[in-house]
Amino acid sequence: MQLNVFRTLWGVTSPWQQTVSELKSVGCCGIEARVPLTVEDQQTLARRLEESALEYIAIVFSGGGVIPAQAETPEQHLERLKERFTAAKALNPRFVNLLAGNDRWPLAQQVDFLGKAHELAADYELTCSFETHRATSLYSPWLTLEIIQQLPQLRFTADISHWIVVSERLLDDPCDDFSTFIDRVHHIQARAGYDQGPQVPHPAAPEYQAALQFQQRFWQQIWQSQRQRGYQQTTLTPEFGPDGYLHHLPFTNVPVADLWSLNAWMAQHEQQHFVEFTSLTQ
């Protein structure tokens, strides 16, 4: 099994050619980014992907943004997905990473919506990976496990930093059994969270090594499961980002680290981690 690493465009403000040069310098093969909202921007992205020979993971929000519009119904989310899936399809993505639903909906509504969203993606002939993320249907590890019991066909993007924050602890208690989730993970977003936040100041910092190592062990379980499921390639996106995730100094508001340096470190570190994993488990 091979590891394909992607670069997130979340928080990236550098010119396109610089962005491409940087991502290729650390072994990335493509980008993970939102499907642009306008046809013009979609055409620009399609041209850039082709010219730069990059693969693409398309990010779609059923609720319009990271925080879904609170008054919208599941039916409105599904209507938006039709338009978003049409736009995504035109960009020929490797797959769609979907942030779906609203954390305020009751379980029965979550299950009905996610089942219909999965069917809708299939209608568009898109592989759809549902991301674990706060504010969405999959904000909680425990709710997600309940959903899996009713919708075992779903596949997931594992960003467990969100679950660590929701649970306010590393999910390594002997009572914690995530095997049914792990066996359905399609994609990993590699950001190191900790018990009080979704993003450590720097993944190399020794004071956060327990958090990083727990998440690396979780990712190893995913890789092992994927190999048993016959995956020839697995995907991972380092996803350190801005918007309150990146730590800043008080009063001056100066970032404590450069955003690209965090993702570059994680890209290189996880490629080495994967080599070590495969050498020990083959």
Asked if 117 and 84 count as a contact pair (C-beta separation under 8 A), the reply is no
Give the orientation angle of helix 209-228 with respect to helix 259-281, to 10 degrees: 50
**Backbone torsions φ then ψ of 275, nearest 5 degrees:** -60, -45
Tens-level pLDDT at each residue, the chain (282 residues): 999 999 999 999 999 999 999 999 999 999 999 999 999 999 999 999 999 999 999 999 999 999 999 999 999 999 999 999 999 999 999 999 999 999 999 999 999 999 999 999 999 999 999 999 999 999 999 999 999 999 999 999 999 999 999 999 999 999 999 999 999 999 999 999 999 999 999 999 999 999 999 999 999 999 999 999 999 999 999 999 999 999 999 999 999 999 999 999 999 999 999 999 999 887
pTM for this model (two decimals): 0.97
Question: How many CB atoms are located within 10 Å of the residue 255 CB?
Answer: 14
Radius of gyration for the chain, computed over Cα atoms and rounded to the nearest angstrom: 18
| CA distance linking residue 272 with residue 9, whole number of Å | 23
Going by their DSSP bridges, the two strands 128-131 and 156-158 should be labelled as parallel
Task: Give the distance from CA 195 to its chain's centroid.
Answer: 19
Residue 234, strand partner residues: 3
Asked if 54 and 30 count as a contact pair (C-beta separation under 8 A), the reply is yes
Burial 84-115 (b: 16+ CB within 10 A, else e): bbebbbebebbbbbbbbbbbebeeeebbebbe
**Backbone torsions φ then ψ of 102, nearest 5 degrees:** -145, 135
Asked if 127 and 96 count as a contact pair (C-beta separation under 8 A), the reply is yes
Element (H, E) at 247: none
pLDDT score of 280: 87
Ordered by start, the domain boundaries in the chain are 2-281
Task: Give the distance from CA 213 to its chain's centroid.
Answer: 19
* Among the listed residues 160, 113, 154, 155, the one whose alpha carbon sits nearest the alpha carbon of residue 133: 160
**Which fold would CATH assign to domain 2-281?**
TIM Barrel (3.20.20)
| CA distance linking residue 135 with residue 58, whole number of Å | 20
* Among the listed residues 49, 10, 11, 52, the one whose alpha carbon sits nearest the alpha carbon of residue 33: 10
Asked if 10 and 275 count as a contact pair (C-beta separation under 8 A), the reply is no
Strands (E) in the chain, as ranges, are: 2-8, 28-34, 55-61, 95-99, 128-131, 156-158, 185-190, 233-238
